[in-house]
């Protein structure tokens, strides 16, 4: 374990540095191929900005993961020990490509949603799913639920697709979606330490570092934004990562309260926005300017204070979730 944590710290530092310095290359590619986010009534930015910054996170993560596979292939800490790790990696690549296609060609929202569900269903069918849940209820204690096959796939698909799009909806303010994702990634990293899971320690140390390298250039005024390619990539890894690593490699039921606590911010934001659209008899999938950051801006809260408040909430949810996971496995 000590060796894994030492390597993890090196991973965080090196992937952060790499991600930071690859940023200008990605922005130049965005300008060269005119992959820009154009301002409109919903946008915070006042001028066109490169919208494929997520490529920085994607490339940094994959390069370091594959380098790690090569370097430690014949060692005791080689992390490809189950197909579920490959499912997370391959699924995240698929979601990234889907988002990149939208960033460049503006694909149909319905088509994107269908493809998201198909990928999520494939992952669920291959074993990475919410088939077993545990939750704590007052006076009843810990309860374990085994879901029927239909509901297993149903909830898993909606979890992956819902969380991915909820994070995508957060990406409307500089440093918001990337910062939030960093705290969730850090939470999974800490959870892996608590559970002694070397796979999670290595993967989410690299992932956290990849986010740091991007995030440094994403604060206002943003150097570039992550785009759908970035938010889809983050959403898939985080939604599936919480399933796999909170259950210690699917050896235990997934702690329901843990995963809901970590994603409570985008979940509640998504619920509020969808319900408000339905009440107003609008298309619930049609974009608007009613997300949490839009409402805070309209309340005349400054950018720095918005980031402070949301990051503070993220830290609180991180502490709560990991306290819960520690007590959950020690009750």
What pLDDT tens digit does each residue of the chain (331 aa) get? 555 788 889 999 999 999 999 999 999 999 999 999 887 766 677 789 999 999 999 999 999 998 887 776 666 555 556 789 999 999 999 999 999 999 999 888 899 999 999 999 999 999 999 999 998 776 677 788 999 999 999 999 999 999 999 999 998 899 999 999 999 999 999 999 999 888 899 999 999 999 999 999 999 889 999 999 999 999 999 999 999 999 988 889 999 999 999 999 999 999 999 898 888 888 877 777 788 888 999 899 999 999 999 999 999 999 999 999 988 777 6
Tell me: the pLDDT tens digits for 250-308?
Answer: 889 999 999 999 999 999 999 999 898 888 888 877 777 788 888 999 899 999 999 99
Q: What pLDDT, on the 0 to 100 scale, is given for residue 137? A: 72
Distance CA 43, CA 40 (A): 5
Are 294 and 172 spatial neighbours (Cβ–Cβ below 8 Å)? yes
- Nearby residues of 102 by Cβ (< 8 Å), 6 or more positions away: 112, 228, 229
What is the distance in angstroms between the CA of the first residue and the CA of the last residue of the chain? Answer: 23
Distance in angstroms (rounded) separating the CA atoms of residues 168 and 162: 10
pLDDT of residue 73: 67
pTM for this entry: 0.93
How many whole angstroms separate alpha carbon 308 and alpha carbon 311?
5
Question: Which structure tokens are listed for 201?
Answer: 């320690």
Under 8 Å between Cβ of 120 and 112:
no
Q: What is the pLDDT of residue 43?
A: 67
CA distance 130 to 60: 29
Sign of CA dihedral 133, 136, 140, 141: positive
The pLDDT score that the predictor gives to residue 76 is 56
pLDDT of residue 19: 97
Is 224 in contact with 27 (CB distance < 8 Å)? yes
Rounded Cα distance, 35 and 39, in Å = 13
From the list 48, 61, 49, the residue with the least C-alpha distance to 22 is: 61
User: Cα(44)–Cα(50) distance, rounded to whole angstroms?
Assistant: 14
Give 99-106 contacts, CB < 8 A, sequence gap 24+: 99/54, 99/227, 99/228, 99/229, 99/230, 99/231, 99/232, 99/233, 100/52, 100/55, 100/227, 100/228, 100/229, 102/228, 102/229, 103/35, 103/51, 103/52, 103/227, 103/228, 103/229, 104/33, 104/35, 104/52
Tell me how far apart the alpha carbons of residues 250 and 107 are, in angstroms, rounded to a whole number: 35
pLDDT score for 74: 61
φ, ψ of residue 147 to 5 degrees: the values are -85, 145
- Of 115, 89, 111, 20, the C-alpha closest to 60 is 20
Res 37: pLDDT: 86
* The predicted structure's pLDDT at residue 212: 98
């Amino acid at each position: 374990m000590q060796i894994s944590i030492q390597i993890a710290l090196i991973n965080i530092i090196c992937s952060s540095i790499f991600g930071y310095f690859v940023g200008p290359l990605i922005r130049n590619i965005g300008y060269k191929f005119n992959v820009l986010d154009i301002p409109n009534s919903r946008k915070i930015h006042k001028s066109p900005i490169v919208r494929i910054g997520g490529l920085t996170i994607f490339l940094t993560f994959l390069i370091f993961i594959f380098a790690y596979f090569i370097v430690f292939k014949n060692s005791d800490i080689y992390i490809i020990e189950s197909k579920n790790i490959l499912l997370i990696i391959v699924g995240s690549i698929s979601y990234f490509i889907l988002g990149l296609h939208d960033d460049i060609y503006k694909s149909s929202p319905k088509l994107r949603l269908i493809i998201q569900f198909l990928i999520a269903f494939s992952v669920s069918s291959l074993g990475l799913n919410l088939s077993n849940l545990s939750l704590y209820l007052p006076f009843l204690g810990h309860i374990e639920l085994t879901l029927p096959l239909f509901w297993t796939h149903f909830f898993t698909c909606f979890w992956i697709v819902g969380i991915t799009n909820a994070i995508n909806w957060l990406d409307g303010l500089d440093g918001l979606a990337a910062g939030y994702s960093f705290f969730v990634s850090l939470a999974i990293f800490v959870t892996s330490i608590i559970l002694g899971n070397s796979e999670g320690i290595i993967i989410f140390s690299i992932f956290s570092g990849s986010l740091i390298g991007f995030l440094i250039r994403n604060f206002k005024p943003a150097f570039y934004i992550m785009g759908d390619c970035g938010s889809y990539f983050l959403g898939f890894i985080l939604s599936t990562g919480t399933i796999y690593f909170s259950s210690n490699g699917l050896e235990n039921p997934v702690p329901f309260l843990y995963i809901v606590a970590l994603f409570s911010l985008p979940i509640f934001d998504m619920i509020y926005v969808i319900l408000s659209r339905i009440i107003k008899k609008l298309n619930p999938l049609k974009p608007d300017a009613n997300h949490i950051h839009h409402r805070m801006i309209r309340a005349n809260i400054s950018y720095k204070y918005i980031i402070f408040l949301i990051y503070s909430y993220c830290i609180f949810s991180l502490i709560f979730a990991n306290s819960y996971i520690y007590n959950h496995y020690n009750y």
